[in-house]
Every structure is written in structure tokens, then in C-alpha cells.
């Protein structure tokens, strides 16, 4: 069963799906807004509420992910257990983005 099949079933039944069980493993949605961890070239990692327009990425309620060693990137994204430092809003050229990981609206706050 594909993601599209599941979505069609939910829409057909008129229900909103927040969790799904696949082979005994429950998966749930963790994002409700636009907050994300954004990895940028030259080793920078930021988190914030993302707005994309005119070839730019604006991050508000911004954090600099200063250190995440010892737990790995995936665990840092999952738990926000890292050296997170609040900073002013960040404006990034879209071409500098390496990748972006959506997180919960209150991640790191």
C-alpha cells in the first residue's frame, strides 16, 4: 500500500489520519507548521519557522545548532538535545540549502 493509497482511503472515509501502523510499527505526523532544521553549505545548521520566497529562505524564531556531537544528527532532530543558541532571524539564499528536515512547531524552544 502506498502513501497515496492511504491518503485516498482517509479522504474517502472523511477522516484525518495522524498515525499509521505498518508491520507493527506506529508512525505519526510530528509537523503541523513550517518549523524545520535547515542544513546550509559551509557547515551551518539552523532551525526556525521557514518562509520561502524570491529565491530566499527566511527563518524566524531562529536557533543556531551549535553542537550536536555525541548523539548524531538524527537523534538531535528527534530530541532537540543539542547546544542550541537563539539568534536573530536568518535570511539565506535558497541555493545555499543542502537539505531541510521538518520538525514540530515547538522544536528547540
pLDDT tens column, 6-52: 554 544 444 445 667 778 877 665 545 799 999 999 999 999 999 99
Q: State whether 57 and 24 are in the same domain.
A: no
One domain, residues 21 and 62: no
Asked if residue 18 is part of any domain, the answer here is yes
Pair 14, 51 in one domain: no
Average pLDDT, the chain: 83
Residues 57, 5, single domain; the answer is no
Q: Which domain does 40 fall in, by range?
A: 35-102
pTM for the model stands at: 0.69
Q: Are residues 56 and 69 in the same domain?
A: yes
Q: Among 50, 52, 31, which Cα is nearest to 107's? A: 31
3-state secondary structure of 43: helix
Residue 56 domain flag: yes
Give the C-alpha separation, 100 to 52, whole Å.
Answer: 12
Nearest by Cα to 97 from 57, 62, 60: 57
More confident site: 1 or 65: 65
Instruction: Quick: pLDDT tens for 83-105.
Output: 999 999 999 999 999 999 999 99
Q: Are residues 40 and 25 in the same domain?
A: no
Amino acid at each position: 500500500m502506498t502513501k497515496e493509497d492511504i491518503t485516498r482511503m482517509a479522504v474517502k472515509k472523511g477522516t484525518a489520519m495522524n498515525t499509521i501502523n505498518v508491520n507493527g510499527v506506529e508512525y505519526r505526523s510530528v509537523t503541523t507548521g513550517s518549523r524545520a532544521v535547515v542544513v546550509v553549505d559551509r557547515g551551518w545548521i539552523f532551525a526556525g519557522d521557514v518562509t520561502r520566497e524570491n529565491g530566499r529562505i527566511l527563518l524566524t524564531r531562529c536557533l543556531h545548532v551549535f553542537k550536536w556531537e555525541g548523539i548524531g544528527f538524527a537523534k538531535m532532530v528527534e530530541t532537540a538535545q543539542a547546544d542550541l543558541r537563539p539568534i536573530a532571524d536568518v535570511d539565506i539564499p535558497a541555493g545555499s540549502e543542502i537539505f531541510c528536515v521538518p520538525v514540530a512547531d515547538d522544536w528547540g524552544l
